[in-house]
C-alpha cells in the first residue's frame, strides 16, 4: 500500500528541485538540511496516512497535490536558508495555483476521497505556515498568527472536542483561506513597500480570525453531541473544493 512508485518519483523530484535551487541561488547548509528533513518526515507521514486509509494507489488529484508538496519543499528550503524572494514567490505561486487544479481533477475524474481531502488540506496549511514564517521575519512575529491559527484550532479541539465537529461547506471559508496564501506571497514579493505588505497581511489576518471565529461559534451552537461525527478534523470540508 501507499504507491511507492509515486512517492519515489516525488522524492527524486524533491532532490532535483533542491539541487536546482542550490545551483541557481546558492542554497546553503540550512536550506539543504530543512529540505532533507521535510522530505524524510513528509514521506514518512504520507506513507503512514496512505496505509492507514487503505490507499494502494494515489489518484490523479492526489498526484497533483503531491507535486504541490514538492514545491512546498522548495519553499521550506528557501525560507530556512533566508534565500532571495523571487524563487520563493515563484514556487509558492505555482503551488497555490495548482490548489485550484487538484480540486478540478478530483471532481472531473470522480476520484474525491477523504484521504485526498486531508492531504490537500495539510499541504495548504503547511505552505501557509512556512510563508508566514518568512513574512514574519520582515514584518514582525505577529504574522505567525496566520500560519499557526489552523494548528491552534486543531490543538484546541483536543481540549474541547466540540471544536472537532463537522463543518458545513462554505464558499466564504474557502475564499478567506485562498486570501491568506495570496496575501503572504504578495508581502514576500520583492519591491513591495512595507506599509503595503503590512496592510495586506493585516487584512488577511482579520478575515482569517473572523472565519475561525464564525466556525467556532457555529460548532458551539451545533452542540457537543455532534463533535467528531464524520469529520477528518477542523475545517475538513474545504478539500478538494478548490480553496484552502
Q: Domain boundaries in the chain?
A: 4-238
Q: Which three cell numbers stand for residue 113?
A: 476521497
What's the pLDDT at 168?
84
Digits of tens for pLDDT over the chain (244 positions)? 567 888 899 999 999 999 999 999 989 999 999 999 999 999 999 989 988 888 888 889 999 999 999 999 999 999 999 989 999 999 999 999 998 898 888 888 888 888 888 899 999 999 999 999 999 999 999 999 999 999 999 999 998 888 888 888 888 998 999 999 999 999 999 999 999 999 999 999 999 999 999 999 999 988 664 444 433 334 434 333 333 3
Q: Tell me the C-alpha distance between 138 and 103, whole Å.
A: 33
- Quick one: pLDDT at residue 234? 40
Task: Assess contact for 35 and 56: CB atoms under 8 A.
Answer: no
pLDDT of residue 226: 47
Contacts of 223 (CB under 8 A, 6+ apart): 162
C-alpha torsion 232→233→236→240, nearest 10: -60
At 223, list the grid cell: 452542540
Query: Which residue bears the cell 461525527?
Result: 229
- Could you tell me the CA-to-CA distances from 22 to 51, 77, 91, 94 in Å, in that order? 33, 10, 14, 19
Which pLDDT does position 229 carry in this prediction?
40
Q: Is 197 helix (H, G, I), strand (E, B) or coil?
A: helix
Task: Give the whole-angstrom CA distance, residue 190 versus residue 150.
Answer: 27
What pLDDT sits at residue 196?
A: 97
Domain 4-238 part of CATH 1.20.120: yes
pTM assigned to the model:
0.88
Q: How is residue 84 written as a grid cell? A: 532571495
Using CA atoms, how far apart are residues 128 and 123, in angstroms rounded to an integer?
A: 9
Amino acid at each position: 500500500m501507499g504507491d511507492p512508485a509515486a512517492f519515489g518519483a516525488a522524492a527524486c523530484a524533491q532532490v532535483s528541485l533542491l539541487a536546482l535551487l542550490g545551483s541557481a541561488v546558492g542554497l546553503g547548509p540550512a536550506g539543504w538540511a530543512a529540505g532533507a528533513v521535510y522530505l524524510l518526515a513528509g514521506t514518512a507521514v504520507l506513507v503512514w496516512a496512505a496505509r492507514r486509509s487503505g490507499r494502494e494507489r494515489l489518484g490523479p488529484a492526489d498526484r497533483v497535490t503531491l507535486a504541490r508538496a514538492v514545491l512546498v519543499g522548495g519553499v521550506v528550503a528557501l525560507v530556512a536558508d533566508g534565500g532571495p524572494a523571487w524563487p520563493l514567490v515563484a514556487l509558492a505561486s505555482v503551488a497555490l495555483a495548482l490548489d485550484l487544479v487538484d480540486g478540478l481533477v478530483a471532481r472531473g475524474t470522480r476520484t474525491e476521497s477523504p484521504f485526498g481531502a486531508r492531504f490537500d488540506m495539510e499541504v495548504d496549511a503547511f505552505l501557509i505556515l512556512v510563508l508566514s514564517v518568512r513574512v514574519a521575519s520582515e514584518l514582525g512575529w505577529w504574522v505567525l498568527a496566520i500560519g499557526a491559527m489552523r494548528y491552534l484550532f486543531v490543538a484546541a479541539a483536543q481540549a474541547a472536542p466540540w471544536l472537532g465537529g463537522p463543518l458545513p461547506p462554505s464558499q466564504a471559508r474557502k475564499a478567506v483561506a485562498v486570501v491568506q496564501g495570496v496575501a503572504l506571497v504578495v508581502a514576500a514579493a520583492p519591491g513591495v513597500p512595507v506599509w503595503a505588505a503590512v496592510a495586506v497581511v493585516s487584512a488577511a489576518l482579520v478575515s482569517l480570525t473572523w472565519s475561525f471565529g464564525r466556525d467556532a461559534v457555529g460548532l458551539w451552537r451545533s452542540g457537543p453531541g455532534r463533535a467528531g461525527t464524520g469529520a477528518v478534523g477542523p475545517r475538513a470540508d474545504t478539500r478538494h473544493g478548490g480553496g484552502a
